[in-house]
């Protein structure tokens, strides 16, 4: 399950930058994102809308279309940088080594072909097998993902499937070539909670059977808690905290993660008053200066408005990108080298009253 | 229960007839979907009743039928002593001054060609209220819901999702209603924004003495907002109880399964989540007997023939009702354990360990800021 930090990661993403050049301005969808995926683990990438989590996944597979451009960083898959691969090379990697499963089962399946046809086609794209063998494998995969009566349902069209069954069919398609890595982008967001639980149970079983490493992209902290081994928290186009799942939920280090933990309504807690994160999720065309969370952060100081903290180790196995996070030992001289004037004498004060110094 | 609820729904049915077209009609191949199938509940003045269920449970159709946005097939909806189902269209329009709705998706429920000021003003114009003071009232309403009044000339697309939902709430408040139906008001919003809107609804309820019917699929949201909760499954209420009671001592097997399936944001609890097998059956072809019986871990032979009614649970207090022939005596437990330590305390702002090097080595906030150093 949980990976050793000294092991070589399956995927190593460093300083990934993807921008979209739109009429409204440049959207910094991914703005220097870094994380690793280890063998056999499930890594959760959790974030709200505009955190850049979906574009990160698309960028890893070079699936970003114009006006978007991957502009920097590296995506090392077992040592090779995927961003340097040609389209032909990527085509044999996608689906085969790294498969992706998308959010919306309504639009990801083609309504005019049977579900079985669509799964078989993926198999035949990557493997040299007969129609009969592909069909047999399709039925086997449909059974694997828990579709009842696969021998008859293989000939059904997508509209004859419920939402949960369609999502299972997409899962069957994604694992059809026994990929090394599965990227699942909000795989259960459109589903009811009882169906969601079923899908995650199937995913657990498949991971065990095929030994996949999984990246799970979600906005739901409950899903992360129940499914992931390690977590990367995304905000404003980058990862602001990385930790093992237990450590993250026990004691989050980044103020944003802490804010999320405070604001979610919980079944176990019946206090009437919730504690929201103030303000709104940032606009990626116009990210705040310095730390992009500072306008919403209860701990922000003047430094936070100009210094853009990188992700640093705050204790073995966990990282955070916050000047004020415990263990983020950035010395005064380092701050000054960065051009942040940090001499003031007064203790750190929240940024809410720091605005008058402009 | 008082004898004078604000809203009293009794035996509400809403059937939709599905026929695919001319040929089907010719062949008499009508299929009837019983979206709401005999629902009864009361809402007391000033309380919030939660209606929770999975998709296809009929919770939204119930609300729409109560407001007569869908005409009920059968049953009565008594609002402050008036049977809404017996009103003429004109009388119903008049009644809508008192009953308003907040929709799920603020992006599609606001007219994109109108400024938010016009959107908030419209209900007052329709009902001929606040003549001459409407603009002032728009400003006041915007302030009430936490929007700067100077934004009233902006269009919905210039606002974030959370702000648009605030506009939707201001519009509902414009005619000063007594009763608001909130249909999944936070499910389209980001997690960090949800809490802002839930707190706002709570404040407004107190300030304006509102009675709320709150529809949601998310039980954690329901727990925070509602005084009482009705759990729906395939067009029927299967359990009805005070919120605390429902979450600590659920009686119906479906409620228990639903609570067990929720992944809670606590790893040790989330890993223990229970799987409820199967799916909500098609309302075109509902199971015989209890509609939950094909998925129910407790189901017996009788459950396939006896359709249970929503009855008081023996030995329970506070009007706890369940519709299951195997619930004969009140049982405690089976619910959600209460957290030992409050979340607020654990993740509180005060508890945040500020980095000591920044706080204590004589540095800190700079008056000049770093901008000019760059």
For chain B, percent of residues with pLDDT exceeding 70: 88
A123, A124, A171, A181, B47 from A128: Cα distances, Å:
8, 6, 21, 21, 65
Amino acid B191: pLDDT: 85
- CA–CA separation, A285 and A292 (whole Å): 12
Would you place residue B20 in the very low, low, confident or very high pLDDT band (cuts 50, 70, 90)?
low
Subunit contact A225:B264, Cβ cutoff 8 A: yes
Cα–Cα distance for residue pair A75/A312, rounded to 1 Å: 19
Provide the CATH number for the domain formed by A1-97+179-358 in this structure: 3.40.50.300
Q: What is the largest CA-CA distance in chain A?
A: 77
Tell me how close the Cα of B50 comes to any Cα of chain A, in angstroms: 14
Residue identified by tokens 């990976």 is: A3
In whole angstroms, what is the distance from residue B114 CA to residue B4 CA?
40
CA separation for the pair A151, A134 (Å, rounded): 13
CB contact under 8 A, A341 and B274: no
- The fold adopted by the segment(s) B7-98+177-337 is Rossmann fold (3.40.50)
Using the CB atoms, write b or e for B165-201: b if 16+ within 10 Å: bbbbbbbbbbbbbbbbbbbbbbebbbbbbbbbbbbbb
pLDDT band at B344 (very low <50, low <70, confident <90, very high): low
Q: Which residue has the higher pLDDT, A171 or B108?
A: A171
pLDDT bucket at A355, cuts 50 / 70 / 90: very low
Determine the distance in angstroms separating the CA of B142 from the nearest CA of chain A, rounded to an integer: 16
Residue bearing the bigger pLDDT, B371 or A226? A226
Q: Which residue of B has its CA nearest to A275?
A: B195
Q: Which long-range contacts (CB under 8 A, 24 or more apart) does A81-86 make?
A: none
Bridge-based pairing state of the strands B74-79 and B82-83: antiparallel
Judge: B355–A324 Cβ closer than 8 Å, yes or no.
Answer: yes
For residue B365, pLDDT over 50 is answered with no
pLDDT digits (tens, 9 = 90+) for B90-143: 999 999 999 999 988 777 889 999 999 999 999 999 999 999 999 999 999 999
A192-209 pLDDT, tens digit each:
899 999 999 999 999 999
With a CB cutoff of 8 Å and minimum separation 6, the contacts of B275 are A194, A197, A198, A201, B261
Q: Which helix (H) or strand (E) holds B33?
A: strand B31-43
B192 contacts chain A (CB < 8 A) = yes
Give long-range contacts, CB 8 A cutoff, 24+ apart: A119-128: A119/A169, A119/A172, A119/A173, A119/A176, A122/A95, A122/A173, A122/A176, A122/A177, A123/A176, A123/A177, A125/A95, A126/A92, A126/A95, A126/A96, A126/A176, A126/A177, A127/A177
- According to DSSP, residue A3 is labeled P
Residues in chain B with CB shorter than 8 Å from the CB of A273 are: 199, 202
Q: Tell me the pLDDT tens digit for each residue of B289-331.
A: 999 999 999 999 999 999 999 999 988 888 899 999 999 888 8
Element holding B348 (H helix, E strand): none
The pLDDT assigned to A334 comes to 67
Confidence of residue A293 (pLDDT cuts 50, 70, 90): very high
Q: Does B69 touch chain A (CB under 8 A)?
A: no
Element (H, E) at A102: none
Note whether B359 contacts A348, CB cutoff 8 Å.
yes
Which A residues, 302 through 341, put their C-beta within 8 Å of a C-beta on chain B? 302-303, 305-307, 323-332, 339-341
Window B:78-137, CB contacts with A under 8 Å = none
According to the model, what pLDDT value does residue A312 have? 92
Share of chain B above pLDDT 90, in %: 65
- CB count, 10 Å around CB of B156? 21
Higher pLDDT, B353 or A175: A175
- The pLDDT, as a whole number, for residue A189 is 82
Q: What is the mean pLDDT of residues B261-290?
A: 89
Segments making up each domain of chain A, as ranges: 1-97+179-358
Contact A193 B217 (CB under 8 A): yes
Among A358, A5, A9, smallest CA distance to A181 is for A9
- What's the confidence (pLDDT) of residue B33? 87
Lowest mean pLDDT among A211-220, B1-10, B226-235: B1-10
The kind and range of the H/E element at A58 are helix A53-60
Average pLDDT of chain A? 87
Band the pLDDT of A349: cuts 50, 70, 90.
Answer: very low
Interface of B with A in 226-255 (CB under 8 A): 243-244, 247
pLDDT confidence band for A352 (50 / 70 / 90): very low
* pLDDT at residue B371 tops 50: no
Which string of DSSP letters, residue by residue, matches B98-155? TEEEE-S-HHHHS-TTS-HHHHHHHHHHHTT-STT-HHHHHHHHHHHTT--GGGGGS-
Q: Region B162-185: what's the mean pLDDT?
A: 94
Q: Which stretches of A63-133 are assigned E, i.e. beta strand?
A: 68-77, 80-81, 98-101
CB contact under 8 A, A342 and B352: no
**What is the DSSP-derived secondary structure letter of residue B327?**
-
CB contact under 8 A, A265 and B336: no
| In chain B, where the domains are located | 7-98+177-337
Say which residue, A341 or B127, is predicted with more confidence. Answer: B127
Tell whether B217 is within 8 A of chain A (Cβ).
yes
Q: What is the pLDDT of residue A105?
A: 64
Looking at residue A340, what is its pLDDT? 63
Residue A142 has pLDDT above 50, yes or no: yes
Cα separation of A283 and B161, whole Å? 12
Lowest mean pLDDT among A107-111, A328-332, B48-52: A328-332
| Residue B371 burial by Cβ neighbours in a 10 Å radius (0-12, 13-18, 19+) | middle
H or E element at residue B202: helix B191-208
pLDDT per residue as tens digits for the range B234-263:
999 999 999 989 999 999 999 999 999 988
Binary contact (A48, B221; C-beta < 8 A): no
> Residue B288 in contact with residue B305, Cβ under 8 Å?
yes
Cα–Cα distance measured from residue B239 to residue A234, given in angstroms and rounded to the nearest whole number: 39
Contacts of B247 in chain A (CB under 8 A): 267, 270
B284 touches A at CB < 8 Å: no
Residue A243 has pLDDT above 50, yes or no: yes
B227: helix, coil or strand?
Answer: coil
Q: Tell me which chain B residues have a C-beta less than 8 angstroms from the C-beta of A357.
A: 366-369
The predicted pLDDT at position A155 comes to 95
At residue B338, φ and ψ (nearest 5 deg) are -80, 140
Instruction: Look at residue A338 in the predicted model and tell me its pLDDT.
Output: 64
The answer to whether A341 contacts B368, with C-beta atoms less than 8 Å apart, is: yes
Give dist(CA B288, CA B176) in Å, integer: 45
Looking at chain A, which residue has its C-alpha nearest residue B367?
A: A357
Q: Do B357 and A307 touch (CB under 8 A)?
A: no
Of chain A, the percentage scoring pLDDT greater than 90 comes to 68
Of A275, A305, A346, which has the smallest distance from its Cβ to B195's Cβ?
Answer: A275
Pair B43, B215: CB distance under 8 Å: no
Q: What is the pLDDT of residue B106?
A: 75
Residue A286: what pLDDT? 87
The confidence score (pLDDT) of residue B373 equals 33
Tell whether A78 is within 8 A of chain B (Cβ).
Answer: no
Tokens at B246, concatenated: 């429902």
* Predicted confidence (pLDDT) at residue A351 exceeds the cutoff of 80: no
Mean pLDDT of A90-94: 93
Q: Supply φ then ψ for residue A241, to 5 degrees.
A: -155, 140
Cis peptide before A67 (omega within 30 of 0): yes
Give the Å distances, CA to CA, from B29 to B15, B21, B36, B333. Answer: 16, 10, 21, 48
Chain B residues lying within 8 Å of A272, measured CB to CB: 202, 224
Q: Is A217 on the interface with B (CB under 8 A)?
A: no
Beta carbons of A267 and B247 less than 8 Å apart: yes
Contact B364 A269 (CB under 8 A): no
């Amino acid at each position: 399950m949980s990976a050793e930090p000294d092991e070589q990661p399956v995927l190593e993403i460093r300083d990934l930058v993807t921008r979209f050049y739109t009429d409204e301005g440049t959207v910094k969808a991914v703005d220097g994102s870094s994380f690793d995926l280890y063998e056999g683990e499930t890594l959760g990438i959790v974030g709200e809308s505009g955190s850049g989590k979906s574009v990160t996944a698309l960028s890893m597979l070079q699936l970003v279309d114009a006006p978007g451009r991957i502009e920097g960083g590296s995506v090392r898959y077992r040592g090779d940088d995927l961003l340097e691969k040609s389209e032909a090379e990527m085509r044999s990697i996608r689906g085969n080594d790294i498969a992706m499963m998308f959010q919306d089962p309504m639009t990801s399946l083609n309504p005019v072909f049977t579900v079985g046809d669509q799964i078989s086609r993926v198999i035949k794209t990557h493997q040299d097998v007969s129609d009969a063998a592909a069909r047999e494998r399709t039925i086997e995969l449909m059974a694997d993902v828990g579709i009842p009566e696969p021998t008859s349902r293989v000939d059904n069209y997508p509209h004859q499937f419920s939402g949960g069954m369609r999502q299972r069919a997409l899962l069957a398609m994604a694992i059809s070539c026994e990929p090394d890595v599965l990227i699942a982008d909000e795989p259960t967001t459109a589903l009811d909670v009882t169906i969601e639980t079923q899908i995650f149970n199937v995913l657990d079983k498949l991971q065990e059977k095929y030994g996949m490493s999984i990246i799970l992209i979600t906005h739901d902290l409950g899903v992360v808690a129940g499914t992931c081994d390690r977590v990367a928290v995304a905000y404003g186009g980058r990862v602001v905290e990385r930790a093992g799942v237990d450590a993250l939920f026990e004691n989050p280090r980044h103020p944003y993660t802490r804010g999320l933990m405070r604001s979610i309504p919980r079944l176990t807690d019946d206090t009437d008053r919730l504690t929201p994160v103030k303000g709104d999720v940032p606009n990626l065309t116009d990210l705040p200066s310095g730390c992009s969370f500072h306008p919403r952060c209860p701990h922000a100081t003047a430094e936070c408005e100009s210094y853009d903290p990188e992700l640093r180790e705050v204790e073995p196995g966990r990282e955070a990108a916050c000047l004020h996070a415990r263990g983020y030992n950035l010395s005064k001289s380092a701050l000054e080298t960065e051009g942040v004037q940090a001499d003031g004498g007064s203790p750190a004060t929240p940024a809410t009253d720091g605005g008058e110094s402009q | 229960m008082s004898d004078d609820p604000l809203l009293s729904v009794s035996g509400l049915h809403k059937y939709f007839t599905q026929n695919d077209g001319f040929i089907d009609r010719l062949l008499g191949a009508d299929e009837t979907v019983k979206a709401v199938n005999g629902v009864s509940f009361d809402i007391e003045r000033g309380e919030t009743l939660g209606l929770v269920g999975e998709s296809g449970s009929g919770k939204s159709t119930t609300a729409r039928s109560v407001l007569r946005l869908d005409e009920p097939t059968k049953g009565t909806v008594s609002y402050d002593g008036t049977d809404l189902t017996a009103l003429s269209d004109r009388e119903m329009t008049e009644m809508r001054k008192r009953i308003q709705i907040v929709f799920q998706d603020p992006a599609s429920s606001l007219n994109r060609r109108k400024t938010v000021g016009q959107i908030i003003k419209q209900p007052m114009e329709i009902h001929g209220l606040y003549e001459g003071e409407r603009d002032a009232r728009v400003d006041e309403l915007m302030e009430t819901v936490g929007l700067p009044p100077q934004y009233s000339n902006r269009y919905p697309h210039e606002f974030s999702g959370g702000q648009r939902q605030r506009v939707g709430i201001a519009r509902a408040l414009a005619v000063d209603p007594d009763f608001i139906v909130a249909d999944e008001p936070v499910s389209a919003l980001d997690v960090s924004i949800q809490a802002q809107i839930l707190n706002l609804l709570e404040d407004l309820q107190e300030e304006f003495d509102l009675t709320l019917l709150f529809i949601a699929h998310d039980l954690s949201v329901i727990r925070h907002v509602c005084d009482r909760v009705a759990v729906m499954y395939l067009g029927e209420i299967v359990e009805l109880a005070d919120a605390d009671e429902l979450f600590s001592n659920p009686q119906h097997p479906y409620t228990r399964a639903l609570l067990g399936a929720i992944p809670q944001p606590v790893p040790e609890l989330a890993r223990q989540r229970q799987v409820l097998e199967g799916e909500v059956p098609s309302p075109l072809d509902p199971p015989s007997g209890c509609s939950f019986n094909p998925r129910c871990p407790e189901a017996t032979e009788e459950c396939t023939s006896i359709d249970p009614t929503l009855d008081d649970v023996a030995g329970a207090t506070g009007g706890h009702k369940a519709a299951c022939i195997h619930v004969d005596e009140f049982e405690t437990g089976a619910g959600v354990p209460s957290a030992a330590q409050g979340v607020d305390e654990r993740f509180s702002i005060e508890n945040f360990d500020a980095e000591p090097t920044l706080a204590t080595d004589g540095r800190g906030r700079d008056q000049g800021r770093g901008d000019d150093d760059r």
